[in-house]
C-alpha cells in the first residue's frame, strides 16, 4: 500500500526531528511492505520568510490531497513582533480549519524508564506509571469565536453548538471503548452557559455508550486532580481553551514534554500529526533535539489514519527498547545514562525496528 504524506518541517528544530521520523516511517514501510511518499510544503515562520504569509494556499492544497500530514513545529522569537494574524502560529489554526480537524488527541504516557523525571511523588504515580489521553475540541470555543476591541475594552466569545459538542464527545467515547472505558468531561458549567450545554450534550452521547463510566469535573478542580490523583483519569474530554491548558499540564506530569505526540483528526481518515513541544530555535540544527515525540506521532499516524496497529506498536516498542538500554537525548538525560544526539536517537530506533 502506498501512502501520500504532506510534510511540514516548519521552524527551529522542526526539520531536525521530522527527518528522523521519516527515517523511522520509511523503515516501517520496508519491514511491513508499505511505501510512503513524502511531499514537503511550507508553513510557519519559514513560509513568512519565503513567501510572505504563514500558510500558503499551495500548502493547504497539498495537505488536502494527501493521506496524512506530518508537522514539525512552528514559531519562534524571530516573528514575535508580528501582528496576531501574521504570526507563524496562524498556520496551525488555518490548517486545522481548512482540513476540518476538530479533535486533538494527546496521550500523556509516562515511560517507566523515565519515572525519575516525573515531578510527582512516587506514591502518587503508584504502580504502572501514568497513562491517560486528553481529547480536546479544536475548531470551536473561544479561540474561534467573535472577537474585537472597542475603545479600552477587548472581548473574545466562547460559543459551542450541539453538533460541535456531539462530534468531539463521540471521539472521546470511541477512544475510551478501546481503553479502560472511562470518560471524564471537564467544563465550567457552574458559571458558563456554553458549559451547561456541553455537559447536557455529553450526557446524551453517553447513553449510546452504556459500558463507559462518565463523570464531570469543573476545570479548576480538574487541574488540581491531575496533580494530586492523575491515575483516576483514562480519557479526558474538554473544550478548546480548557484542553489547551490541561493537555500541557498532563504532559508535564509525565516528566518530559519532549516525549509526547499528538494527533489532530476530523471525520475522515486524514489527520495531522505533530509533537506537542515547540520549535526550540536555540538548539536548531545542533543535533540536540529529542525526536521521540515526533517518532511517536508517526506511530499515531499509522494507528489512526492508516489502521496499521501492528506497525504503530512496533515503533512504540522500539522507542521503549532504546530507552531501556539507557540512551537519552539531553532533555531526558540522567546520571548513568548514555547521551546521544537527534540523529543517533533516530538511528537507534530504526535499528530496533529490525
What does the H/E/C string look like for the chain? CEEEEEEEEECCCHHHHHHHHHHHHHHHHHHHCCEEEEEECCCCHHHHHHHCCCCCHHHHHHHHCCCEEEEEECCCHHHCCCCHHHCCCHHHHHHHHHCCCCEEEEEEECCHHHHHHCCCCHHHHCCCCCEEEEEEECCCHHHCCCEEEECCEEEECCCCCHHHHHHHHHHHHHHHHCCCCEEEEEECCCCCHHHHHHHHHHHHHHCCCCCCEEEEEEHHHHHHHHHHCHHHCCEEEECHHHHHHHHHHHHHHCCCHHHCEEEEECCCCCEEEEECCCCCHHHCCCCCCCCHHHHHHHHHHHHHCCCCHHHHHHHHHHHHHHHHCCEECHHHCCCCCEECCHHHHHHHHHHHHC
Active-site residue among 32, 38, 143, 218? 143
Write down the pLDDT at residue 20.
Answer: 98
343 band by pLDDT with thresholds 50, 70 and 90: very high
187 assigned to active site? no
Active-site residue among 78, 181, 231, 244? 244
Write down the pLDDT at residue 38.
Answer: 98
- Measured CA angle at 265 (ends 264, 269), to 5 deg: 135
Whether pLDDT at 128 is above 80: no
pLDDT by residue (tens digit) across 275-328?
999 999 999 999 999 999 999 999 999 999 999 999 999 999 999 999 999 999
The mean predicted confidence, pLDDT, of the chain is 94
Whether pLDDT at 72 is above 80: yes
125 band by pLDDT with thresholds 50, 70 and 90: confident
86 band by pLDDT with thresholds 50, 70 and 90: confident
Tell how strand 103-109 and strand 261-265 pair up. Answer: antiparallel
* Mean pLDDT computed over 67-78: 96
- To the nearest whole percent, how much of the chain has pLDDT over 70? 100
- Cell 486532580 maps to which residue? 225
Whether pLDDT at 223 is above 90: yes
- For residues 69 and 42, give the distance between their C-alpha atoms in angstroms, rounded to a whole number: 12
Active-site residue among 4, 159, 248, 331? 248
* Mean pLDDT computed over 21-47: 97
- For residues 168 and 182, give the distance between their C-alpha atoms in angstroms, rounded to a whole number: 15
Active-site residue among 156, 220, 287, 307? 220
Write down the pLDDT at residue 295.
Answer: 98
Whether pLDDT at 256 is above 80: no
pLDDT by residue (tens digit) across 227-254?
999 999 999 999 999 999 999 899 888 8
* Mean pLDDT computed over 256-280: 92
pLDDT by residue (tens digit) across 161-204?
999 999 999 999 999 999 999 999 999 999 999 999 999 999 99
Tell me if 75 sits within 8 A of 44, measured CB to CB: yes
334 band by pLDDT with thresholds 50, 70 and 90: confident
Complete domains list, the chain, with CATH? 1-101+268-354 (3.40.718.10), 119-253 (3.40.718.10)
* Mean pLDDT computed over 12-33: 97
Write down the pLDDT at residue 350.
Answer: 98
Whether pLDDT at 255 is above 80: no
Among 66-80, 155-169, 199-213, 249-263, name the one with the lowest average pLDDT. Answer: 249-263
Q: How far is CA 305 from CA 6, 257, 271, 297, in A?
A: 13, 24, 6, 11
Active-site residue among 11, 188, 209, 273? 188
Q: How far is CA 192 from CA 154, 189, 278, in A?
A: 19, 5, 31
114 band by pLDDT with thresholds 50, 70 and 90: confident
287 assigned to active site? no
Write down the pLDDT at residue 93.
Answer: 86
Whether pLDDT at 354 is above 90: no
Tell me if 257 sits within 8 A of 241, measured CB to CB: no
Write down the pLDDT at residue 42.
Answer: 98
- Cell 521520523 maps to which residue? 21
Whether pLDDT at 84 is above 80: no
244 assigned to active site? yes
Write down the pLDDT at residue 3.
Answer: 97
22 band by pLDDT with thresholds 50, 70 and 90: very high
Amino acid at each position: 500500500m502506498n501512502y501520500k504524506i504532506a510534510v511540514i518541517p516548519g521552524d527551529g528544530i522542526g526539520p531536525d526531528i521530522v527527518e528522523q521520523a521519516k527515517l523511522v516511517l520509511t523503515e516501517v514501510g520496508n519491514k511491513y511492505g508499505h511505501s510512503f511518499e513524502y511531499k514537503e510544503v511550507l508553513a510557519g515562520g519559514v513560509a513568512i520568510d519565503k513567501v510572505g504569509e504563514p500558510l500558503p494556499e499551495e500548502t493547504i492544497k497539498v495537505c488536502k490531497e494527501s493521506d496524512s500530514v506530518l508537522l514539525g513545529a512552528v514559531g519562534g522569537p524571530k516573528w514575535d513582533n508580528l501582528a496576531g494574524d501574521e504570526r507563524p502560529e496562524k498556520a496551525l489554526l488555518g490548517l486545522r480549519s481548512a482540513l476540518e480537524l476538530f479533535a486533538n488527541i494527546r496521550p500523556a504516557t509516562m515511560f517507566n524508564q523515565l519515572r525519575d523525571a516525573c515531578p510527582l511523588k512516587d506514591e502518587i504515580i503508584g504502580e504502572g506509571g501514568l497513562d491517560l489521553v486528553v481529547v480536546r475540541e479544536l475548531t470551536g470555543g473561544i479561540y474561534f469565536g467573535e472577537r474585537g476591541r472597542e475603545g479600552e475594552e477587548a472581548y473574545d466569545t466562547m460559543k459551542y453548538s450541539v453538533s460541535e459538542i456531539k462530534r468531539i464527545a463521540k471521539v472521546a467515547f470511541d477512544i475510551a471503548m478501546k481503553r479502560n472505558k472511562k470518560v471524564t468531561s471537564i467544563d465550567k458549567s457552574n458559571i458558563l452557559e456554553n458549559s451547561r450545554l456541553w455537559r447536557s450534550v455529553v450526557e446524551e452521547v453517553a447513553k449510546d455508550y452504556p459500558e463507559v463510566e462518565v463523570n464531570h469535573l469543573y476545570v479548576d478542580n480538574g487541574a488540581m486532580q491531575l496533580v494530586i490523583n492523575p491515575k483516576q483519569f483514562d480519557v479526558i474530554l474538554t473544550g478548546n481553551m480548557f484542553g489547551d491548558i490541561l493537555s500541557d499540564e498532563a504532559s508535564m506530569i509525565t516528566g518530559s514534554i519532549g516525549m509526547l505526540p499528538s494527533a489532530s483528526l476530523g471525520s475522515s481518515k486524514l489527520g495531522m500529526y505533530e509533537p506537542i513541544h515547540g520549535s526550540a530555535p536555540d538548539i536548531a540544527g545542533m543535533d540536540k533535539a529529542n525526536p521521540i515525540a515526533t517518532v511517536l506521532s508517526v506511530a499515531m499516524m499509522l494507528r489512526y489514519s492508516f489502521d496499521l496497529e501492528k506497525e504503530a506498536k512496533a515503533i512504540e516498542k522500539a522507542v521503549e527498547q532504546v530507552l531501556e538500554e539507557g540512551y537519552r537525548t539531553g532533555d531526558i538525560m540522567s546520571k548513568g545514562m548514555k547521551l546521544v544526539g537527534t540523529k543517533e536517537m533516530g538511528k537507534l530506533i530504526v535499528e530496533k525496528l529490525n
